Amino acid sequence: MNIPFAVVFIIPVLAVWASFGFAWAVKPKFNKNIRLLLAFSGAFLLALTFFELLPEVYEGENPKTMALFILAGILLQIFLEFFSKGAEHGHMHIDGEKNEFPILLFLSLSIHALVEGVPIEGNSPILYGIIVHKVPVAIILSIFLLNSKMRMASILLFISIFSLMTPLGTYVATYSSWVSEYGNYLNALAIGVFLHISTIILFESSQGHSFNFRKLIVILLGVGVAYFI
């Protein structure tokens, strides 16, 4: 079923704002439930990357070239995390005692969100993968921002622009002739980003980097949902 582009644009924005509203109203702690939600999102996004994106980018393309762009995506995400300190996969290692606008965190998260919007299409399950990934990360980001000493105006500006970056990536990928021409390469770049993010989430979503039964069930559930979606 084709999803209207207006809906594709609105859903990621609503997901970020709903997550922010939840964090503001409930003031949750970063507990085991959020870790399990992160594990589900990582497994779901990883499975969708294998089921949906990888087969498409290799159709009619040079496999080694595609692999090079996938590796470039992994390296891009590693570079972004040098500035974001792992916020993309739910880890916040930024000094929350400062009241300055965290410009490096903002830029790295915005670039990440822009890239992840590129492979979304109106009928693509990747949209759901991005939303499931974005919600727990946006909750954790919102908890950090609300607990920091930043002014509320700066926090709202951060959330506003961040919420628009994924739809902006989708818009540019859909309507830019240059991006359409090199769409497969950009999708391969996004695959690299997804592979890095999702695998890091899976190994960091439990204390001590160890797997337990609940986490295993959640991961299997994420893969199963992605398969049948």
Report residue 113 as tokens: 């969100």
Please say if the pLDDT value at position 30 is more than 70. no
pLDDT band at 147 (very low <50, low <70, confident <90, very high): confident
Please say if the pLDDT value at position 203 is more than 80. no
Report residue 149 as tokens: 């000493």
Q: Are 143 and 25 in contact (CB under 8 A)?
A: no
Residue linked to tokens 């992840």: 116
Please say if the pLDDT value at position 152 is more than 70. yes
Report residue 183 as tokens: 């769409």
- Greatest mean pLDDT among 6-15, 175-184, 201-210: 6-15
Q: Report which of 73, 76, 78 is spatially closest to residue 54, judged by C-alpha positions.
A: 73
Domain ranges of the chain: 5-228
Residue linked to tokens 């762009």: 69
Whole-structure pTM value:
0.86
pLDDT greater at residue 84 or residue 222: 222
